[in-house]
Structure 1
Amino acid sequence: MAISPDRTQELTAAGLNLIGQALTIYDSDLKLAVCNVPFQRMFELPDELVTPGATFEDTIRHLVQRGEYGDVADIDGFVAERVDQALAFEPHYMERKRANGRIISVEGAPLQQGGWVTVYTDITRTRQQEALLQARSEELSGQLIDYAEELSSTNRELAAMNAALEEAKRELTEIEARTRLTTEMMPAHIAHVDASGTYTYSNRQLNAVIPGRPSDIRGMHISAALGTSAYDRIAPHLEKAFDGNPSVFEFTDDASARRIRAAFTPDSRGGAYILSMDVTAEMQVRVAMQQTQRRALAAQMTSGLAHDFSNLLTIILGLQSKLKRAEGLPQEAAELIDGTLAAAQRGGSLLGSIAGMTAQRSLRPEATEVRQMMANLRTLAEPTLPDAITLVVTDTTPDRPVMLDAGMATDSLLNLILNARDACGTKGKIGVSVKVVHDTWIEWQVEDTGPGFSEQALSRGFDPFFTTKGAGGSGLGLPMVYDMTKLAGGDLRLENTQTGARVTLRLPYRPALSAAMGLVLLVEDRDDLRSVYRDMLTDLGHSVIEATSADEATALLADLPEIAFVLSDVQLAGEATGIDLTNRLAAGIPILLMTSLPAEDPLFKAAQRAAPLLRKPFSSDTLQALLAPKSAKEIVA
């Protein structure tokens, strides 16, 4: 039965307290890490100087002021000299006579991790015996033999104690190494800062959580490690931790575009423990789920009202049309009837827009060539622009397909271009740029040379029915773009530039699967479904090998390095899931998960974060769309 680390630490401390020598271990900052009871007794030290964290400088100063080193004229200089000697971390052995007449030996050795271990031995009796033997060697020859034997026995005990201390040092080193290895393998940043905000510990994972940051940050101030923007966001929460109050919060790092969740836990010395992790994928899924729920609620609230209002508009249109056909109406009445008919027809169009916003809409991402989509967008947009308005499209995305609902993205961008056209008037310039931001987002920016957004438009631009176009606008354009963006887990921002307005649209960056024709591993525990999916894959030109569980699939992947692609159900035979299989895959092997679970199921959400997810049931065309880029012609359709 393995002994727990806490039990090992207790046994080690008990063993150190039983030896007859005093022992201390100071870290590289000259702070006490370990000492035994004989150390306190030998030098009659107060409790605060034998508590982990006590400084070497304070201990030396206490001993000097108490007269341990005799009459010292310059106490500060004496203490500083001892501290400098300690910081050199050189092996040493010395003997000195204390103020109380006792003689001690001091033996120090540096540690590989920094700091040193020191053993103090009271050798007063040994030195007295040596002096006595020298003075009375002729008269006490018999006693000399006895003392020599006693000294030899003492030396053997000392050797045994030294061996025990070496073993204790080795065990402490192994415990520290195992702890560091465990923390450095975690997908999170674990750290500690002291009361000044300086890192005293880090598991070297900061750059994995926030790309672009250093990994070796011990001794660095947290503001320098995080950068000004991120530090300004966490500073209030860090101050709460310094005041003794724990804090858990999320923030977006501007430099890396990552969403970070952080937890600050105060320690007992004015500092704080830090746990932070990247929750960007979780945030994207959460935003999409929240927007879906809002849409469902809005649809429920408006469907009944829209139905009744549509009936009322139908009656109004019918009565006004009948009234218009009546004979003998004055000219003023005819104009009022035309106005009423126009208003009723506009109300009908408005109802259609509301229905479009609240209707059930499912996201259908497919492998899409962004450059082809942007070329198609230009083709759609340019005929709608006056001759004096120039459209400039800039695409710096990688030349590889991405997972996008191309139709939804094109609709959103076209809506933004038309808004920019209205802002420019008869002449101007509209710029549309697209790029990938830190492999996290695909970002479009639509800029124009119009007058820019008003303060009211910046704050209310996404509100339904808000418009600055007067009677010519419905106020539903930007809200529909916002709705589609949030449905995909993205973000939409409005801002002004020095030359006009800018709208930034971000969607999660999901590189499309690049499954070349070859051997596909199909993992499905139901025989009937596995047969259907096998036929789909073979019809698409793939060879197929099958498994029913994640463990079976793992074994096949190890034996068959030529497997080019994995199609797996989320729920499989055995305890492991398709998500577990995703985590076991070697780098470079693409995987597509499939499931019939509802969107609110936790396993569904976990699968969305793990890999591209295909909802059952699906057709061969749907599967092919996820494995091959969508052409410009198909995007138009």
Structure 2
Amino acid sequence: MEETTTVQSQIDLLQAALDHVNQGFSVFDKDLRLVAWNRGLWEMLDFPQALAKRGTHLEEFLRVNAERGEYGPGDTSGKIQRRLDRARLFESHYFERVRPNGQIISVSGTPLPQGGFVTTYTDVTKDRKLQEKLERTVEERTRALRQSEDWLRLVTDNIPALIAYMAPGPIFRFANRRYAEWFGHSIASVANRPAAEVVGETLFREIAPHIEHAFRGNAVSYEYVRKRPDGETVSMRSTLIPDMTKDGRTLGVFVLSLDATEQKRSEATLMQSQRMDAVGKLTGGLAHDFNNLLTILMGNLLSLSRQEGPLQPEALKARVSPMMQATQRGADLTQRLLAFSRGRPVDPQVVPLATVLENVSALLQGSLPPPVQLVVDDCPPNVAARIDPTQMETALINLAFNARDAMPEGGELHISSEEVEIDERRAADLDVTPGKFACINVSDTGAGMDEDTKLRIFEPFFTTKTFGTGSGLGLSMVYGFMRQSGGAIEVLSTVGNGSRIRLFLPALPISDATTFNNANGSNELPLGDGELLLIVEDNADIAEVLAEQVRDLGYTALLAEGAEDARSLAAELPELRAVLSDIVMPGQMNGLALAREIRSSRADLGIALMTGYADWGNLETPEKEIDFPVLTKPLRPEKLAIVLKQIMSI
């Protein structure tokens, strides 16, 4: 009896526990009769209390549900029978049923080993409504995102710029319509393709270092030139912005490219304007220099003309030597001024900075007012940079004249150079790549600049000069030139203590071979052995002087009366060894056309050209495509000797 009481107590305890579970619970035996249940079943499904007893058949529960529409309209008996047949299979099952009141019940049944099954009932109405709400939210947000992407695509496709996004690889993940069409693709064909395939192998090799630098977390700007399908050459300016996480990882790179063709043309026009403005400022100093040179020439010529009787060699040399130096100095000044003022775009080249500073010093000598003292330190001879030398000289001239204007009462203008090593921290400040740099310093002892002026001096059209005396474009052009050359510019100045402008250019080594020297290091000139040379020059006086120079170098000179005569002589004289022709001549044929015609019929003839012009007249052929040596008038004996020796050996 006591044992029975203990078992009953345990059963009651288990029932109480089951009644506190927030799920419905039922157990049916192999005959589909109710064995156990909990209170949650009746509370959840609203079954009549009369069914809450052991032995109630499953059919009675199913009938209650069917009659109150739990299974939907239709044949009630058939619905009940189908569910009984399925239950007698005693298989695991799970389904969710929506009751007429909107309640959603999940039913999960598990078969028992001896027949029958255990079933749990869970009210999932709240969960399903939450899920439904979440799905609607996801759908709405997806729709909004798609609409946002469509708007973004609409905006980026209509912005007059090339926009793209690159993932590591580099692989394009996005490109707007203009970017895709620029490289001959569709938007769809650009996505997920390697950058080299999209932009082409040739251009990719050029811009790959910039892309790598951007993926290392640096903002990069660069320019490149490309030909359109119609043959027009256009300039593009691109900026790469890294897409970085807070912990410093680079996820990708944003690309923004703009057509800079018109801007480059405008910059060229502005550069020419600045150059011509500098030429105007140089004119006074150059006139002073030329007057001094003419004084030397005229004085010595007058002395020679008054001389009665023969002159001793020493006395003749004393008169002729300064005249030769004066003419050479005049030729140098003329060539520098012509090169400085011509304004033609010049391909960047490796240039010794010592040569640039020497040229600038020569141009500035006599161009500064007496109270301003110019000091130009010697530049290390083995330091060079890849630059446009004419633009470099323009930049330094502009800085020099700015320094002059800052010292109206006089002072010192000091130009110096040095080679410096820039580490990563300093490079980040200057926005350059770490490494060796050539630094040119332009310092003055003028009034100096306040902080506001220093911040604005590179803005186009900003100037501290009185109206009409400055364009405000000089320093902006200097800044643009330095950035295009891969360098940087730094301003150090305080009010009352002068200014120092520092120009940083990536340094390159240069061999001694780039400096002109005779082969044996002596002053002896290579001479000819009587070879016949045809001279084509339309000015008779110049032709006679050239013939005399050629004879002094050991050659036999023959003068042509014009292009037609030169053509005939070249065809008729087998003993002729070479031709020296002026480029710009009157008539239909210029010297270059004549040289090419002669070369086509006499490949054995050496040919050299000469000119006194900076741009060689109106020749359509670019200078770099002329395949003949070109001498500049007046001809220097050492250069003439070397060129003649070269063409005679053809």
The structure with the largest alpha-carbon Rg is 2
> TM-score by structure 1 length?
0.36
Point out which structure has higher relative CO (alpha carbons under 8 A, 6+ apart).
Answer: 1
